[in-house]
Amino acid sequence: MSTPALELSGLKKSFGKAEIIRGIDLSIGKAERHAIIGPNGAGKSTLFNLITARFAPTAGTVKLHGENLAGLEPYQINRKGLSRSFQITNIFPKMSVFENVRCALLWSQGYKYSFWNLVSRSRLLTEGADAILEQINLLERRDLPAGTLSYAEQRALEIGITIAGGADVIMLDEPTAGMSNTETDYITDLILKVTAGKTLIMVEHDMGVVFGLADRISVLVYGEIIATGAPADVRADPKVQEAYLGAALEAEH
Amino acid sequence: MNDQITTDPSKPAQRMRAGSLTLTLAPWIISAVFLAILPQIFTNNSTLTIMNQMSITIVFALAYNMLLGQGGMLSFGHAVYAGVGGFAAMHIMNMSDFFASIPLVVLPVFAGLFGMGLAMIVGSFSTRGAGTVFAMISLGVGELIAACSVIIVAFFGGEGGVSGDRTYAQPFFGVEFLQQIEVYYLTAAWVIISAALMYLWSRTPVGRMANAVRDNPERAEFLGYSARWVRFYSFVASGFFAGVSGGLFAINYEILTEENLNTASSGVILLVTFLGGVGYFFGPIIGAIVFTLLQTVLSLSTELWAIYAGSLFLATVMFFPGGFAGLIMMHVAPFKLGKLRLLIMPYIKTLIPAAIGILGLAALVEMTFHVRHAAAGDNEMTLFWTTFDSHSLIAWAIAGAVTLIGLGIARVTAPSLKEAWDEANTAGGAS
């Protein structure tokens, strides 16, 4: 645990006069599973977008394995070993399920922008993509257009695409949003399986998933982290209960 | 993950690959043989000219589809790259010393390089996005270069264009390309080579990522690929093959004018590609063949061919956005289910009356045109091998009745065709 996998310091983001993220300091260690929770509009997705350079921060820094990511494009950050999924399913709908995963493997297998290799000739690509499909249980859907899959399957595919490139920091934005209980259990198991040994940062609303998965939890309210710690500590924190958790837990029971 | 790879040797995948290799090679061999024997069937020069025209359009349309279909970039000025490649080829033809030292068959490579060079310059700023901005830049650049053609006379030759003589090239195994048939084989060889290369391109990592960027540029960025660079490479490759088509045009016609790179030509290639179908690799090939036939054969029999081509385009956009290729591929599912024959009778019952009705409609259009535009007193016109008086009521009544009855029957039988179609696309049942 020398350098943290991801380190945020003084991160701020304003849209015009509206301050969405008001100064976040957070350090996430290697192989830690970290959940970010908070009420709607707390800025969870914005925080994700800041880390992955979808938005530029107003102030502060993001460090991946000790390296400052300022000024890098999303694709450059991805090449450094950070991969993310999206809150709204974000796959390649017209391409087959297999193609979706294969595309996610291309860069990490060193193909870059080459036009002198044929993708179908590479056993490593085909077998790697099939191995991922097996992990996410979509081998039977291999040749269907991704857009025709069920919602849960598309979410699973998205997780597959996210992990395929072999990134060691995985960020999942509400992976179980809009799912039934069985689907949620299925995705939770899947996440546990595919992120073993990797750093996982996830935004999640489902408290069952959060407490089942996370090593540590951060609670984000109005652009600030009001508590960070082990699930039990966070659950016991009076500030958290007041701001968010109490209401959510009550709603669940 | 490694042990999974060894415990899962995916033998089916390998078998499939071996099978798909013969499957993918077959169309190419058949096409090559077909192109080789075609001149034995159609021997006259005018047919050869039409076939050459077709080949040039095929290369251009395939190049265009690298952008539109595979990269999701709508260009309104792609004729510029073909045109500039063609002009460059003409100038090389006119550099007598250099031209005499190269065989004519490699001239399209030079044309392609010029098209590619221009695409690199334009692509460096136009490929930032794929949407409206890209379309507008392509239109602007297209207009700009078309306007340059009357300003930079040294390169574009002004209104007269640039002409040359292909026979001054170094003889290629004794062939000097004096005859049309020799040019035909040169063009045919280039079509096969270009089409094969463009197909292979679509199977490479950058070609696959072009599809990914088309579908979802943001996701592609989070896979380590810059959407902009992927678009740039597609654009440059497309510029190369567009240039090749321009070079083939230069060889065939030995003259290039402003017409080769104006916006109208850019529009035509969009139309051709869309007509054939942007969703499949072979779509633009069908589009190029159909459009060239309309343009050459139909224009021999009627001055109004553009109306029919336009109507066909409109009908395609509105009812079959997949184009001809999409229409063909729609039948793969019934074929796999073994239910294709269920469709034969309903097709006959609906499509034949519809075709007759459309011909009747075309007759009405032609008669109107004749009444309005023929010289006064010239009432005689010939349509469908029949000569009649275009002012007579009987002729109008017949054409009108044919139209109404034809389209009427088609309308009545259409629901049963729809039913048969649904049945043919459902698994199970007797087959």
pLDDT digits (tens, 9 = 90+) for B57-81: 999 999 999 999 999 999 999 999 9
Q: What average pLDDT does this structure show over B404-411?
A: 88
What value, to the nearest 5°, has the Cα angle with vertex A31 and ends A29 and A36?
65
> What are the φ/ψ torsions at residue B244 (nearest 5 degrees)?
-60, -45
Nearest residue of chain B to residue A103 (CA atoms): B209
B303 or B225, which is more confident = B225
What pLDDT shows up at residue B15? Answer: 42
Q: Is A106 in the B-facing interface, judged by CB distances under 8 Å?
A: yes
What value, to the nearest 5°, has the Cα angle with vertex B318 and ends B317 and B320?
70
Best mutation target among B7, B11, B223, B238 (most A Cβ atoms within 10 Å) is: B223
What value, to the nearest 5°, has the Cα angle with vertex B94 and ends B90 and B97?
130
Q: To which residue do tokens 């039977």 refer? A: A140
Best mutation target among A51, A75, A125 (most B Cβ atoms within 10 Å) is: A75
Asked if B212 and B229 count as a contact pair (C-beta separation under 8 A), the reply is no
B86 or A165, which is more confident = B86
Nearest to B136 by CA among B65, B74, B197: B74
What pLDDT shows up at residue B23? Answer: 66
Q: Is the pLDDT of residue B18 over 50?
A: no
> Which secondary-structure segment (H or E) carries A8?
strand A6-15
Nearest to A44 by CA among A160, A156, A205, A169: A205
Q: What average pLDDT does this structure show over B242-259?
A: 93
| Chain B residues within 8 angstroms (CB to CB) of chain A | 1, 4-5, 8, 10, 13, 17, 20, 200-201, 203-209, 211-212, 214-216, 218-227, 229-230, 233, 237
pLDDT-derived band at B16 (thresholds 50, 70, 90) equals: very low
> What are the φ/ψ torsions at residue B163 (nearest 5 degrees)?
-125, 165
What pLDDT shows up at residue B41? Answer: 85
In this complex, the residue of A74, A91, A115 whose CB is nearest that of residue B201 is A115
Task: Give Cβ neighbours of residue B134 (< 8 Å, ≥ 6 apart).
Answer: B73, B74, B75, B126, B127, B128
What pLDDT shows up at residue B287? Answer: 93
**ipTM score of complex:** 0.86
Count of domains for chain A: 1
Q: What is the CATH number for A83?
A: 3.40.50.300
Q: Is the pLDDT of residue B161 over 90?
A: no
Q: Is A110 in the B-facing interface, judged by CB distances under 8 Å?
A: no
What pLDDT shows up at residue B8? Answer: 37
In this complex, the residue of A91, A93, A115 whose CB is nearest that of residue B204 is A115
> What's the start-to-end Cα distance of chain A, in Å?
38
Q: Give dist(CA B228, CA B232) in Å, integer.
A: 6
Q: Is A154 in the B-facing interface, judged by CB distances under 8 Å?
A: no
What pLDDT shows up at residue A246? Answer: 53
Contact B223 A165 (CB under 8 A): yes
In this complex, the residue of B211, B219, B233 whose CB is nearest that of residue A91 is B219
Residues of A in Cβ contact (< 8 Å) with B209: 103, 106, 113
Residue type, A116: W
Cβ atoms < 10 Å from Cβ of A205: 15
Secondary structure class of B407 (helix, strand, coil) = helix
Residue A52 vs residues A32, A90, A154, A199: alpha-carbon distances, Å: 18, 15, 22, 15
Q: Is the pLDDT of residue B10 over 70?
A: no
Task: Give Cβ neighbours of residue A204 (< 8 Å, ≥ 6 apart).
Answer: A35, A36, A37, A172, A174, A175, A176, A210, A213
Nearest residue of chain B to residue A147 (CA atoms): B215
Nearest residue of chain A to residue B215 (CA atoms): A92
> Which secondary-structure segment (H or E) carries A142?
none
Q: Which domain holds residue A56?
A: 6-252
Residue B61 vs residues A53, B66, B284: alpha-carbon distances, Å: 38, 9, 5
B430 or A245, which is more confident = A245
B344 or A83, which is more confident = A83
Establish if A1 belongs to a structural domain.
no
Secondary structure class of A184 (helix, strand, coil) = helix
What pLDDT shows up at residue A2? Answer: 67
pLDDT-derived band at B233 (thresholds 50, 70, 90) equals: very high
Secondary structure class of A214 (helix, strand, coil) = coil
B384 or B218, which is more confident = B218
Q: Give dist(CA B428, CA B425) in Å, integer.
A: 10
Q: Is A131 in the B-facing interface, judged by CB distances under 8 Å?
A: yes
Distance from CA of A126 to the nearest CA of B (A): 8
Per residue of chain A (253 residues), what is the pLDDT tens digit? 468 899 999 999 998 888 889 999 999 999 999 999 888 888 888 999 999 988 899 999 999 999 999 889 999 999 999 999 988 888 999 899 999 999 999 998 888 888 888 888 888 899 999 999 998 889 999 999 998 898 888 999 999 999 998 889 999 998 888 888 888 888 888 899 888 889 999 998 888 888 888 999 999 988 889 889 998 888 888 888 777 655 555 555 5
Residues of B in Cβ contact (< 8 Å) with A90: 216, 218-219
What value, to the nearest 5°, has the Cα angle with vertex B235 and ends B234 and B237?
65
Q: To which residue do tokens 């502060």 refer? A: A60
pTM over 0.90: no
